[in-house]
Every structure is written in structure tokens, then in C-alpha cells.
Chain A
Amino acid sequence: MLVTYIEAIRQAMDEELARDKNVLLMGEDVGVLGGAFKASAGLQEKHGADRVVDMPISESLIVGAGVGLAVQGMRPILEMQFIDFITCGFDQIVNMAATLRYRHGGQTACPIVVRGPSGGGVHGGLYHSQNPEAWFCHVPGLKVVAPATAYDAKGLLKSAIRDDDPVIYFEHKFLYRRIKEEIPAEEYLVPIGKAALRKEGRDITVITYGSPVHAVVKAARDMAAEVDIEVIDLRTLLPIDWATVKGSVRKTGKVLIVHEARLTGGVGGEVAARIAQDCFEELDGPVMRLAARDVHTPFAPAMEDYVLPNQEKITEAIRKLAAY
């Protein structure tokens, strides 16, 4: 069936709510309104107000309550209306949920999913454009995923809901209604911890995730005559699929890492460091990174374009790398 990225998310939640009575969805305006972006449209009507819960504007409470439910064997999906607001629940994620199992010596699991719309390119301004995934990739005990396709959005969310560990699920709002894809009518899962090969190539590996996957694939196709590019979509950012990453780098010898989140302290730094150390002998050029400029994501169109990566910047970076 042909679905948008956001419809894939809605279907994943709908199916899991139907499959398992322990699954709940909690967040601001997720019930009667069906979510600010309609990601949960119709779910309260179908699954009940006890299980699709309109929460007060209290992100810390939303995550903390989720932990209390998880200890009781429930599997709450906790929506941040915009992922930018995850900072208000930061302590509950990194100190409460991520350490829960560890500080209890393995007595319990913590099956929660924290999800919400991330990303820029929609003129959302400072607090509706953020990509805060790197903060959470620094936290042991969490798993972090960022789907780029409708297929993955559904399959990864279903896996996240069934996972016994806390999963932070970054969906990209730019993709919500801009991509439409055929997905299987029957049930499927996408495993956490496994990258996807989006395009095979021999000359350069571009490692990316989230919204830029589409610009990278398009750039790779457009440049097919000059350079043969391999595109890896990480999909899971914690833990990163090192086997796939290294396998590709060993083949091509050249790497560009692209993400929409800021450069400094971003996921790309970790990927670059691991490649530099583990694939040093196979490298034919510097490990390069293209990311947002080290500034907040501004509102006015020209400034936002200036700050965020796009196909033009990707093409330019690939040419630079190819010249080595």
C-alpha cells in the first residue's frame, strides 16, 4: 500500500496498540486532536482514552510516568509534541530511564519509546527544527533510531515498541508528507542496530541518516557519470552498525558523513573517529563531514538554507572528496 511517512508512524502505533494491551500512547494533544501533526489520528477513538492519553504539558512527567508504567510491564510510547521539547524531559531519559536497569542490577527492563518530530527545512525556527540525537547517543542504556523512509518509519517503530530497552525515536517532520512509498500490507519489522544500503557504489561511501538520505541518494544518482557512490543509511544511531559501515569503507576507501544535526559533537564525529582508527590502512582520503553549521537553526528562509545541508552542498563535498 502507498503511504506517507507519517501514516507509516500512525499505522505502527495503531497495530501495536491493537496487538498488545500493554502498549499505551501518552503525549500532549495525542488523543482528541490526534496529535499536532495527526500522527495519532483516530487512535484514541479506537483504543480508548485510558490508552491514548492526553497529557498535561509536562515532558518530565510524561517520561517519568512512562518509566513507572514500564516497571509494571506496560510499553508506553511517549510523544514529544516537537522533539525540541525533549530537553524538558532530559533528566528522566538520561538519569531515570537509561540507568533504570543498570542501577537495579538487571532486575527490570525499561520498555519505553520516546518519539517526536525532529528536523528543519520547514521554517520552524529555533524550537521546532532541532536535531538533538547526538545528546542521546552519548548515553549508555538508550537505543537511538532515526528512520528516513516510510518503510523504516513503520518497521523501526514497531521494533522500538517491542524492544525491552528505552528507545529514542527521531522522526523527521520534513518527511512527514513529502515522501510516499509502497509498503507491505502484511506485518513486518525493521531490526534496531542494522544500517541499510541505499545505493551500491565503488568510489565513495556516503554515510547518512534521516532526511538527508534522500538528498544524498539523489546527488549520487545525478553524479553517476562522474563518480560511483555508495550510500549507507545508518537508521540506528545507537548502537551504530559498525560492521556495515566498515565493510563499505574498506571497499571504497573514501568517506563522507552527512547529517542535518550540527557538526561539532555530532554523530558524524564518532563515525569518523571509528573509521579513522579501524580502517586507516584502507583510506584514500580524509574522512569528511557535512553537517549543519555550528549555529541554531534560524527562521528566515535564506538563513535556514545557509545553515542546513542540501543537495548542492552534498554534491560539492563529494567532488572535493573525489579529487583526493
Chain B
Amino acid sequence: MTEQKDRELYRWLRLIREFEDRISALDKQGKLMGGVYSGKGQEAVTVGFCHDLRWDDWVFPLHRDLGAFLVKGADPKRLMAQIFGKRDGFAKGKDSYLHGGDLANGIFGATSMLAATLPVAAGMAYKFKIRKEDRVAIAFFGEGASSRGDAHEAMNFAGVHKLPVIFVCENNFYAYSTPNELQFGVDDVADRADGYGFKGEVVSGNDLHAVMKTAGKAIARARKGEGPTLIECKTYRYHGHSEHDRADYRSEEEVITWESRDPIFLWENYLKQRKYDIAAIVKETTEEVTRIVEEAVAFAEASPFPEGPEAMEDLYAMPIDTEAR
């Protein structure tokens, strides 16, 4: 990779981290409402899968994938307004956190029913296939969501039609508090791909190089009509399920172990190995991401909350008034 791309990837990792940290801080300050789901620690997964996508590819992020929003092209200002529940958010205040997608940038808004986006991604990929469009859909889900029927139904259908969809399992070892061993009986979620007739792979989700290499191959296969891939990224969320979850179900030792494999730390090591001017890169990047997030927060704080009656808008594309004729 070129130095420019190495630095660009670093910038994305850092921007997502800055965003996550600021959101957690805003939550502690009581400036946010509702659930806040930090993806801190999992940044390499979304950067690795989204960075080389084309503008007309689609991503289906899960509730802690704000990185997918940013890398795929969402305006950081509007993303922050979305998290604040403001009118300038993608949902115009109608739903919280990442439930409002940015469709113009190919970012689908999820519901709270985990894995429910997988059938949607498969359906969209079916359209790409029958219209012979050179596009892919990336469907993110957690290892907990892999237990839901929607995950099975979507992968089964994708296998039947060899659809250009990549199923990305972000295995962060806990579904809220429930550990892997109480979630499934297989060693790896990726093993299940055999049952659907396509390839399953396990990759370190904290190693951006590994993620990008695996993602790149799967995306290329999908574009060539060679079908789906299930990729399981082993990763870790530093925070609890949401900000109010202290995550007492994990040991401090375990958290420290994973912090030593931090994706940003690993990428900085790589930049050092390449003999880039790391001090300058860190300084420059820190300034840039801090500024972007500052501006996003200022925009979101200035954006108005919607008024009560706006609750009735955007329900129907073709509303029908049957009260009076």
C-alpha cells in the first residue's frame, strides 16, 4: 500500500475512535438520550470492509458500526445530529442512534431486531445479480445475532443464488452479557458457511491488514459472480453493551489483554515499521479528527429538535385521507 493510503486508513481509525470517545463523553455529561452503543475497539472491522467499497455498493451496519457510516461517506455532522435525535439527523429525530440510515450513500438503517438486516441485504444483492450490476452488499452482524433465524434464512438464500453479499460477523465475544459458549455450539460462527454452500473465514478483527486482505478477496469474488462469503472477525468492545452497562461479566484481565491488541495501536506500529514520520502523522491526524468531531458536535447542538407534530410526517409515501370527502 502507498503511504497515502496507509495514512488515510489511520485517519479513519482515529476519526471513528474520536467520534466514539466524544459520544461516550457526551453521554456522561447527560447530553444524549437513550441507548448509546460504543464500538470502541472494533474500528478495524468497519474500516477494513468499507474503505475500498464503491459509492454505489451498500453497507448494512449494526448498532455499534458508526465507523461504517463515516467510511462509507456519511456526513459526520449529520451523523452526530442523528445521535442527538435532532432534525438534521438521518431519521429527523424519529429514531435513535444508528437506526436512521443514509441511503444516498448506500448506508441502510437497522432496526433493533438484530440480524433483521441480513435478509434485506440478501434481497438487495439479488437485484444486483439479476440486473447484472457490479455491486456488492456488506451485511454486518454480531455473533449474538447469528443465533437468529434471519441470519440463517438470509445466508441460505444467498447460497442458493450465489449472491454478491458478504456476511460480516463481528464476534466481540459477548452478546450483551452472554458469552460465546452460551450462544452457539460451534467453535467459530464462520463454520456455519459450510451449511450454506459458500466459504467461511475467520480473521483477527483488530488487525486492519488481515481484515482488508480477507475483505478484498471476498468483495472481488462477489463482484465476479462467485457468490457470498461469511467472514468472522474476532474483536472486542471495550465498553459494555451500552454505556449504562458496566460489563461486570468480564474480567479486567481480559479487557487489558484485548487493549494490548488495540487496532489503532497495531496500525501505529505498522506505520512505525514503514519508517514514516509517525510523530508528525499522529499530530496532524489528531488535529484533523478533533476538528471534525468538534464541528460535528457544534452542528448537532445547534440543530433544532423536531416539533411534536413532526411525529406524523414520513409515515407514508402516499398518504390517504379517509376522514372527509
Contacts and interface: CB of A to CB of B under 8 A. Distances in A.
Interface of A: 50-51, 55-56, 58, 60-61, 63-69, 71-72, 74, 76, 91-92, 95-96, 99, 101-111, 140-141, 143, 163-165, 192-194, 236, 239-244
B99 interface: yes
A243 B324 contact: yes
Nearest to B126: A65
A106 B92 contact: yes
Contact of B108 (A71, A165, A241): A71
A65 B318 contact: no
Contact of A141 (B130, B160, B315, B324): B315
Nearest to B122: A65
Q: Which residue among A65, A140, A239, A240 has the maximum number of chain B CB atoms within 10 Å of its CB?
A: A65
Contact of A239 (B120, B153, B320): B320
A60 B109 contact: no
Given A105-B90, A236-B322, 18 more contacts: A60-B150, A64-B122, A68-B121, A68-B122, A71-B108, A71-B120, A72-B124, A72-B127, A91-B150, A102-B95, A103-B100, A104-B101, A105-B89, A105-B91, A105-B100, A110-B317, A239-B320, A243-B324
B124 A71 contact: yes
B111 to A, nearest CB: 5
B103 A108 contact: yes
Contacts of B318: 109, 163-165
A152 B317 CA distance: 23
B314 A74 contact: no
B63 to A, nearest CB: 13
B123 A104 contact: no
Nearest to B128: A72
B238 interface: no
A99 B110 CA distance: 10
B322 A241 contact: yes
Contact of B123 (A64, A143, A236, A240): A64
Nearest to B163: A65
Query: What are the 4 A-B residue pairs with the smallest beta carbon separation, nearest first?
Result: A64-B119, A65-B123, A68-B123, A68-B124
A71 B123 CA distance: 10
Contacts of B316: 101, 141, 143, 165
